Structure 1
Amino acid sequence: MTQQTVFVTGASAGFGDAIARRFAAEGARVIAVARSEDKLEKLAGELGDAVLPVRLDVSDPDAVKNTIDALPDGWKAVDVLVNNAGLAKGLEPAHKADLDDWDQMIATNVRGLAHVTRALLPGMVERGRGHVVNIGSIAGTYPYPGGNVYGATKAFVHQFSLNLRSDLHGTGVRVTNIEPGMVGGTDFSKVRFAGDQAKADKVYEGTTPLTAEDVAESVYWAASQPAHVNINVIELMPVVQSFSALQIYRES
């Protein structure tokens, strides 16, 4: 079997780090992409030649194109793209939200994902094989107070993934959207709450959430199916999380 080349964005921590390690453990070569050069070098130091560290801010469209165009010849033929880079910022209601937070989420979760995908898709189509795995969220399906633009960006990821499937019909290129619920052990909530670790810890207090490794396993499983099988969507939650009743406001 030919060694796979896997391109993972947001690979310096959390889901991305776990995904990079999962594929590398199976003998894949991983192009690990992130903004943090130090963390990428640490990952590469641990995994060796299996990893090509690439510093890139996916929210910068010019940098995305230039960086992907400049990949070394032996790394250009990407078999699996994992669009993992993304973030949530703030949990304020829409009328109080920080517009800079909204812009950052849109730039990374929507524009960054779209530009990376567009840069790598032509090669996949030309080779007649490839797999785009997008990391969405249950927030793209189920609304919650303060989810506003974050949830909207993940709804984009869901619909974009489905439309990619339609566009890529007959090319041999597969598309999967992974939609996790509550995941602990990452910096997701710390970033959302502007570095407030105590506030972030409160989110997971008394729970057994999913882990980054759980998400990585779902990504690897979808990508390791036979070439004729496309896993469209995987939605996963920890057992401690389920669906809430609709909100009802009652006058006092």
Structure 2
Amino acid sequence: MQDKVKVEARNIAMSYGKTQVLRDIDLVIEPGEFFALLGPSGSGKSTLLRLIAGFNQAQSGQLLIGGEDISRVPPWQRNVGMVFQNYALWPHMSVWENVAFGLQERRLPKSVIGQKVAATLALVNLEDYARRRPNQLSGGQQQRVAIARALVNDPRLVLADEPTGALDTHTSVEIMALLQSLNRAGITIVLVTHEHDIAAYAGRIVSFRDGRITEDRPNAAAEAAPEIAAG
């Protein structure tokens, strides 16, 4: 795992055509935080997450990770892990191959790839599922694969865009338990959700509406998710 880093948004503004989707966003995400961006659809929360990932680019302002201005740095050079609502797994690849793909693209030695994939699958309780294809897994198991893929490259932080949006309530609790355990191990996690009960697992909650931050509060009573084995 890489050293913890601070994420800073300084006076960020962004528009789609004439529609302003982010308005003068100033925000600091501290190293090691479990941080939730909460708001309804169209509030700007996912747009900010995609800015951090490098999928969008702001018209003005600065975005820094670890003190470095990354506003013009392409996504593949930011070393940020990304978890999507729809898993975004390669259907023709096994679990092992999906997780290993980024390491193979970096042309790491096979022995290193094998060790890192095995360790990461164990971290998400999927070591016995390595040879299965995504269509042989439950939704929760597929999301665990997506989380493993985000972790295996030792990212500076992990971004999770509505990671429980396609899951039932029980499986959502499992995924939030996993994210909490990863955060306790030192991984900075930035979560986007429109669900208050999901945001309640984070240690800090920032609420969005109409492209603006309406509330920024610590969540000392963060929901303690039970540890549940993969199922």
Do these two structures clear the TM 0.5 threshold for a shared fold by scoring above it? Answer: no
TM-score by length of 2: 0.34
Which structure is higher in RCO with an 8 Å CA cutoff and minimum separation 6?
Answer: 2
The structure having more radius of gyration, on CA atoms, is 1
The structure with the largest strand share of the pair is 2
Q: Which has the higher helix share?
A: 1
TM-score (norm 1): 0.31
